[in-house]
């Protein structure tokens, strides 16, 4: 292993054995959606080819339904992610979700914003398999996935290529001796800032008070980020168009969710 490799920020990468249908999707659908493993990521090439038509039978095997997606019709569509002043989504904006868990949020956002291009990254294989089920069932065409560490993907994104990045309820690593495993670290933020367009947004949520404070402190230490909150309600309330995540529903933290929105300065 590379001695300079950053510490692992996630727990297990596999839990139970995949059901036949999920295993089938990992073999048949994932290769069509996968971010290439090496080299700089060419976003236009990545999204140029639509995935094969989704639907019954793509994965084979018996059906066992994943938890239903949130009611997308009920989701308030957020304003354009790049600039609050721009209210019509520009075709092709690139949205990254780091640690999408089971993919419910990722797929709901992709369905609600069909003109945007979504990249989801998640090391947990069962989560990726669950996300593939949601993609197949929703027919979303605008999602690409990487099963692995988001830092490996961000490092290969061109400069100023992201319009929005979601980090929702990242592993909290609440013990002080584990804080070094948190995703939010100076080197990570530096690479993310490089990959974000001026005016792009970073949306972070946690229900661990210490991680909220940690994130605020670390992000604001990097002069390329501006905290968008103007009043307490801005960090106490989810942004418009938020779709509840599975982890959020579990309320495992020690405080109510804290919602932090940062803008990449020009």
Q: Which of 33, 54, 129, 149 binds ligand SAM (CB under 6 A)?
A: 149
Pick the catalytic residue from 86, 171, 222, 254.
Answer: 171
Question: Who contacts 256 (Cβ-Cβ below 8 Å, separation ≥6)?
Answer: 207, 236
The yes or no reply on residue 248 touching ligand SAM (CB under 6 A) is yes
Which is nearer to ligand SAM, 10 or 227 (by Cβ)?
10
**Which helix or strand (DSSP H or E) is residue 234 part of?**
helix 232-236
CB of 172 vs ligand SAM, minimal distance in Å: 7
CB of 244 vs ligand SAM, minimal distance in Å: 9
Residues counted in the chain:
266
The yes or no reply on residue 144 touching ligand SAM (CB under 6 A) is no
| Residue 229 CB-density burial (10 A; 0-12 exposed, 13-18 middle, 19+ buried) | middle
Which is nearer to ligand SAM, 79 or 174 (by Cβ)?
174
The yes or no reply on residue 51 touching ligand SAM (CB under 6 A) is no
Question: Who contacts 232 (Cβ-Cβ below 8 Å, separation ≥6)?
Answer: none
Q: In this chain, which residue has its C-beta nearest to ligand SAM?
A: 99
Neighbours of 60 (CB within 10 A): 12
Q: What CA–CA distance (Å, rounded) separates 76 from 74?
A: 6
Q: Which of 211, 245, 260, 263 binds ligand SAM (CB under 6 A)?
A: 245
The yes or no reply on residue 47 touching ligand SAM (CB under 6 A) is no
Among residues 5, 33, 237, which one has the least CA distance to residue 118? 33
CB of 28 vs ligand SAM, minimal distance in Å: 23
Among residues 235, 113, 252, 245, which one has the least CA distance to residue 168? 245
CB of 175 vs ligand SAM, minimal distance in Å: 15
Question: Who contacts 57 (Cβ-Cβ below 8 Å, separation ≥6)?
Answer: none
CB of 247 vs ligand SAM, minimal distance in Å: 3
Is residue 171 among the annotated active site residues? Answer: yes
Which is nearer to ligand SAM, 58 or 98 (by Cβ)?
98
Which is nearer to ligand SAM, 122 or 201 (by Cβ)?
122
**Which helix or strand (DSSP H or E) is residue 219 part of?**
helix 209-221
Q: Which of 59, 66, 101, 199 binds ligand SAM (CB under 6 A)?
A: 101
Contact track, ligand SAM, 113-132, x by CB under 6 A: --------xxxx--x-----
- Give one word for 257, left, alpha or beta, with left for phi > 0 and alpha for psi -120 to 50: beta
The yes or no reply on residue 43 touching ligand SAM (CB under 6 A) is no
Query: In this structure, are residues 106 and 69 in contact, taking their beta carbons and an 8 Å threshold?
Result: no
Among residues 129, 185, 210, 168, which one has the least CA distance to residue 9? 185
Contact track, ligand SAM, 172-201, x by CB under 6 A: -----------x------------------
Positions marked catalytic: 171
Footprint of ligand SAM (CB under 6 A): 9-10, 98-101, 121-124, 127, 149-151, 168-171, 183, 245-248
């Amino acid at each position: 292993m590379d001695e300079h490799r950053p510490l692992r920020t996630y727990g297990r990468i596999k839990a139970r054995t995949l059901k036949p249908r999920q295993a089938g999707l990992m073999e048949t659908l994932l290769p069509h959606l996968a971010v290439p493993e090496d080299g700089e990521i060419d976003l236009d090439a990545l999204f140029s080819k639509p995935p094969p038509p989704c639907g019954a039978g793509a994965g084979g095997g018996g059906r066992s339904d994943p938890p239903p997606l949130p009611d997308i019709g009920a989701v308030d569509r957020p304003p354009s992610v790049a600039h609050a002043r721009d209210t019509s989504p520009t075709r092709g904006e690139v949205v990254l979700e780091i640690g999408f868990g089971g993919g419910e949020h990722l797929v709901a956002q992709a369905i609600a914003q069909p003109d945007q291009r979504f990249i989801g990254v998640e090391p947990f294989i069962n989560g990726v398999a669950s996300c593939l089920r949601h993609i197949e069932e929703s027919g979303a065409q605008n999602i690409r996935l990487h099963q692995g560490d988001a830092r490996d993907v961000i490092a290969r994104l061109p400069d100023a290529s992201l319009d929005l990045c979601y980090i929702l309820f990242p592993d909290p690593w609440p013990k002080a001796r584990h804080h070094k495993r948190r995703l939010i670290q100076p080197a990570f933020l530096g690479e993310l800032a490089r990959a974000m367009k001026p005016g792009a947004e970073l949306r972070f949520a946690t229900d661990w008070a210490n991680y909220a404070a940690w994130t605020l402190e670390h992000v604001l230490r990097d002069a390329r980020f501006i905290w968008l909150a103007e009043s307490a309600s801005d960090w106490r309330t989810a942004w418009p168009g938020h779709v509840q995540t599975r982890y959020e529903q579990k309320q495992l933290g020690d405080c109510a969710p804290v919602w932090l929105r940062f803008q990449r300065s020009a």
